[in-house]
Chain A
Amino acid sequence: MAARIRTLAIGAVLAASVAAVYVTRLQFAPIYLMHDESQFALQAEAIASTGRDLIGRRLPLYFTEPEFPAGRDPAIIYATALVLKVLPLSESSVRLATSLVGVLNIVLMFLVARRLLASDLLGVVAALLLAFTPAHFIRSRLVLSPFYSIPFILAWLLWLARFVDTPERRTLVVAAAWLGLGLYTYLGCTVMMPVYLLLTAWVAWRRSARGWGVALLAGFLVPLVPMAAWSVMHPERYGQIVEAYQLYSVADTVRLRLHLYWSFFSPDFLFITGETSLINSTRQAGFFPMAFAILIPVGIYRLARSGGDIGKVILAGFLTAPLASVVSGALEMNRIMFAIPFGALTAAYGAQALIGSARPISRAGAAILLVSCALQFSGFYVDYMGRYRVASAEWFGGDIRSAIAEAIERGGDDGRIHLSRSIPFIRRYWRFYALAANRRDLLGRETFFEWPELDSPAVPAGAVLVCPAAEPACASLASDPSWTLVRSVVEPGGSPTFSVFEKH
């Protein structure tokens, strides 16, 4: 009982400490809402307010959209909808669910690691290693579905570890169930969860648990019944998935796939600068902290030599992490999220090996590496909230938020709001920011236009127009006497992105 209370207390302190970093300033950074985020948010808002998705279906399992007919994954949308039941729509509120998932991951990592490494201290170390992982922090602040697979992977590992200690069928069922449920978080899980299921089967076979096959299948398949029903009702979904992820090219070159697999493990990507996209990386830190460049190889050695069956599962999890990316033919951040929990765990094993070494230099090295993680994260955090925020503005679509706010304020109740279709994803952004401003009444009163179609003389006085500042037609409007430039939206870096005009 005392041990349980101690565990709960540690978990609570950990959660609170991490939340102070992960769940704060969500409105501030990332600087804007990315287009995919806005779409997830709109689906969540529709569910929260009407119980139906954007095309009117009641509590759907998958959220079909014109841009993605296969349908968006449900976990993130329903989680965000729960938040929006309580909080008003805003950038920070739509990100809250994901950031809380980030905190949950850290607590789960503590629970997994303390069991595997038989130490509360090492459990905390593993949790902090995960917390300090730049990719984990960055993705916890983005409203994107792949991140939601991580708590299910950690929950699976926790129950698998329990099963290894006490091979009971019901524990195996629950472990498999987490994998089944994980399939609702992200499409890439259709590749990875079966891999983890196979690893579970191998562990169960090694334990010679009675009836393990049935337990495993039941645990995995039962949660998939709604998915199966949906697939029966929407048989076109499979073809849409194949089309969306170009899975027909799987039979393509082995060379490309092998090259992609190898590229994932490139140290410059993992430990130095991460991905090239400023959405997924600040370019000043790698996917993992730099100290992992030593901790992971040490951890791999430790897992291979003395990690037991669960150690081999973790090792296999790390080495297979890029599989979804390899299958789809592109190394994309969404499809390599699976590396985060396994990488952090492997690093924790590396830390354990060094801390537990008889050599003082190894123990000192462990201390230095762990402290360096914290120090690097603090520098990363400062950069994330400062330079990165400004540098990434264009990657996040620019300050369309301000342009729409200006249009809403001026468009008022009389005028009509004209929005240029050459602004990428303008429909989503318009809807999101109109709802966030509590101006549902304006929805439907907007006009999306292409420049050749715009009959400028026919636009009534008082109308407001938003267009990209760099577009020649938009710039030429400034010399049209019937229009007045009322707002030039300028990015923090100094470049103008959107212009707001008013007709008079």
Chain B
Amino acid sequence: MPRARTGQMVLLVLTAIGGWVYLHRLGDVPVYLSLDEAHFAVHADAIASTGRNLNGDRLPLFINLADPLGDRPDLPWGNTWYQPFLFYLIAAALKLLPLTEASIRTPTAILGGVVNIVLMYLAADRLFGKRRIAIAAAAMLAMCPASVVISRQALDYTCPIVFILAWLFCLSSFVRDPRLRYAIGTGLVLGVGCYSYITSWIMMPLYLVLSWVAFATAVRNPIRPAVASAVAFMLPLLAILPWLWIHPEMPGNLLSAYSISDPEHVSAIQAVRDGRGLIEVARRSVSVYWAYFDPSFLFLSGGASRKLSTGQAGVFLLPVAILLPIGVYALVRRDRRSWFGLTLVAGLFSAPLPATLKGTAFAIERTMALLPFAILISACGLAWLWESRRTTVRVLGTLLLVAQPLQFAGFYQDYLSDYRTRSALGYDPTAFGEAAPFLVDAAAGGESPAVYLTAPLYDVSAKWRFWVTRLGHPDLLSRTHYFDGNLAGLGPAPIGSLAVVPSEDAAVNAAVSSGEWVLARRVMSIDGQPTLAILRKTASRLLKKPAT
């Protein structure tokens, strides 16, 4: 069989396995819908069914998360705006699939388990010119624990990877064969990629600059391809102009949101605004940046949030801890003056920049650009080992590659079993998914004139809308009210109304002993922890006046 055919067969098998790994039990693991997933789901569903988002904007360029039937909190930064790419991807999926956890997660799972594998293979094949290295790179990317954990959620963190890989493919194609269409391709991919995730607005322009550097090494006159790529980059961004005309508040909302929405972390922007000294700003920024290369984080624990890591494996598998430095060494020694080495190393070390500006360490979701560059550099390391004249070194390379699926098997087994339970409350501390079916069933029966939900309670309104839509009772939204959790303040609540409150015994007991509420259901998370209490209104306080 010709080598090309073999390579394609192996790629096919790899994507089949990757697709299965990333799609298997998608509705079941993670066990609960996180708050951001709920937002993506309900807005995408609205776009899929009506062509408008929940706020009535027709095919909006950016998505305002506010829900007119939701709790409508007053946020310090105004509106919350998300990038459109994943919303439309999920909307496309919902054109074919019913609204379920699995359906909304399918697009990102396919991106992670199939598309990224193919793109990595294509990019690596162009970069290295060796199919077995390309296959290895694709496999290593697919086996990144961070990729698995995050791609199996309906979140846009992994979306930029597609564009980064596509860009690298176009860029390496241009260097090989300097046709203008490849230069245009680099610009276009990066321009569209800006809409994939908020950090892309910083990273995609940076990659465009790296493209220009690569052009300068490939052709005598790099001006023409640079201009072509710049124009192609700007084209998709032109759509912002009319959008900003209609929504001029959006840039300010975004800047404020990413400056202050994490009260426990001070962003560099906020630190400068607060007038903190340059030394302090530099110290924080350097400290955060350094943390992203902490081997403990990269190869052992993968960060503190159980939504983004199992805690039993790092962002990458352990063998990458050896391959990555070897790859850096190989690039520095052999390719430091080439566009190839410069691009990969610059890509790797620039990946934490957005998270550094935000001021949060170990936030892998904001640094997913690390994955493709680290894997490509690791592939360099593998190539360097395999090219060695010493047999032991070549064997070492093979062992490091073979060790990865072995470790991955253990990681994946844990992911589908123990992780599912221990991470449950990390995804949704309220375990609202356990409450919602009962609530919908009880409310939809007609006996409940109103549903009262404590807000914000981890964006309960988005999750509630998801569940009522999923279970076919969107009418319940008009009967839903949001309150601060203080049941005593719900005096005039109609009899039969349902109220959902955090499951604190003292408050629930007080409500029940008042005689106005009965406990309809104690909601337990999958690991047996009480999270919410559903109460039903039994008697009005006014009727309790004794007859004279």
User: Does B296 contact A255, Cβ atoms closer than 8 Å?
Assistant: yes
B353 to A: closest C-beta gap in Å: 15
A285 to B: closest C-beta gap in Å: 9
Judge whether B290 is part of the interface by a CB distance below 8 angstroms. Answer: yes
Judge whether A268 is part of the interface by a CB distance below 8 angstroms. Answer: yes
B330 to A: closest C-beta gap in Å: 16
B290 neighbours in A (Cβ, 8 Å): 262, 265-268
B297 neighbours in A (Cβ, 8 Å): 259
A79 neighbours in B (Cβ, 8 Å): none
User: Does A273 contact B279, Cβ atoms closer than 8 Å?
Assistant: yes
A284 neighbours in B (Cβ, 8 Å): 279
Interface of A is mostly: helix
- For chain A, residues 214 to 270, give those with C-beta under 8 angstroms from any C-beta of chain B: 254-256, 258-259, 262-263, 265-269
Judge whether B286 is part of the interface by a CB distance below 8 angstroms. Answer: yes
Per-residue A-contact encoding for B285-302, CB less than 8 Å = 1, 0 else: 011001101111100110
A39 to B: closest C-beta gap in Å: 32
User: Does B294 contact A263, Cβ atoms closer than 8 Å?
Assistant: yes
User: Does B296 contact A262, Cβ atoms closer than 8 Å?
Assistant: yes
Per-residue B-contact encoding for A282-321, CB less than 8 Å = 1, 0 else: 0010000000000000000000000000000000000000
B294 neighbours in A (Cβ, 8 Å): 258-259, 262-263
User: Does B295 contact A267, Cβ atoms closer than 8 Å?
Assistant: no
Interface size class of A (residues with CB under 8 A): 10 to 19
A259 to B362, CA, bound (A): 12
A278 to B: closest C-beta gap in Å: 15
B216 to A: closest C-beta gap in Å: 22
A325 to B282, CA, bound (A): 25
A269 neighbours in B (Cβ, 8 Å): 287
Judge whether A272 is part of the interface by a CB distance below 8 angstroms. Answer: yes
Contact of A272 with B296 at beta-carbon distance under 8 Å, contacts A255-B301, A284-B279 already known = no
User: Does B287 contact A266, Cβ atoms closer than 8 Å?
Assistant: yes
The chain B residue with its CB closest to the CB of A256 is B296
Task: Select A268's contact among B283, B293, B300, B301, beta carbons within 8 Å.
Answer: B283
Interface size class of B (residues with CB under 8 A): 10 to 19
B301 neighbours in A (Cβ, 8 Å): 255
User: Does A273 contact B296, Cβ atoms closer than 8 Å?
Assistant: no
Interface of B is mostly: helix
A256 neighbours in B (Cβ, 8 Å): 296
B283 neighbours in A (Cβ, 8 Å): 268, 272-273
Task: Select A272's contact among B282, B293, B300, beta carbons within 8 Å.
Answer: B282
User: Does B286 contact A254, Cβ atoms closer than 8 Å?
Assistant: no
Most B C-beta atoms less than 10 A away, residue of A254, A255, A267, A269: A255
B287 neighbours in A (Cβ, 8 Å): 266, 268-269
- For chain B, residues 31 to 56, give those with C-beta under 8 angstroms from any C-beta of chain A: none
The chain B residue with its CB closest to the CB of A283 is B279
B296 neighbours in A (Cβ, 8 Å): 254-256, 258-259, 262
B315 to A: closest C-beta gap in Å: 13
A231 to B: closest C-beta gap in Å: 35
User: Does B279 contact A267, Cβ atoms closer than 8 Å?
Assistant: no
B283 to A: closest C-beta gap in Å: 4
User: Does B279 contact A255, Cβ atoms closer than 8 Å?
Assistant: no
A180 to B: closest C-beta gap in Å: 34
A272 to B286, CA, bound (A): 9
User: Does B286 contact A258, Cβ atoms closer than 8 Å?
Assistant: no
A256 to B294, CA, bound (A): 11
A263 neighbours in B (Cβ, 8 Å): 294
A318 to B282, CA, bound (A): 25
User: Does A258 contact B282, Cβ atoms closer than 8 Å?
Assistant: no
User: Does A254 contact B279, Cβ atoms closer than 8 Å?
Assistant: no
A269 to B291, CA, bound (A): 12
Contact of A258 with B300 at beta-carbon distance under 8 Å, contacts A268-B287, A272-B286 already known = yes
16 additional A-B residue pairs with CB within 8 Å, beyond A262-B293, A262-B294, A266-B286: A254-B300, A258-B294, A258-B295, A258-B296, A262-B290, A265-B290, A266-B290, A267-B286, A267-B290, A269-B287, A272-B279, A272-B282, A272-B283, A273-B279, A273-B280, A273-B283
Could you name 9 residue pairs across A and B whose Cβ atoms are closer than 8 Å? A255-B296, A258-B295, A263-B294, A267-B286, A267-B290, A268-B283, A268-B287, A272-B282, A273-B280
- Where the two chains meet, the residues of A that have a C-beta atom closer than 8 Å to any C-beta of B are 254-256, 258-259, 262-263, 265-269, 272-273, 284
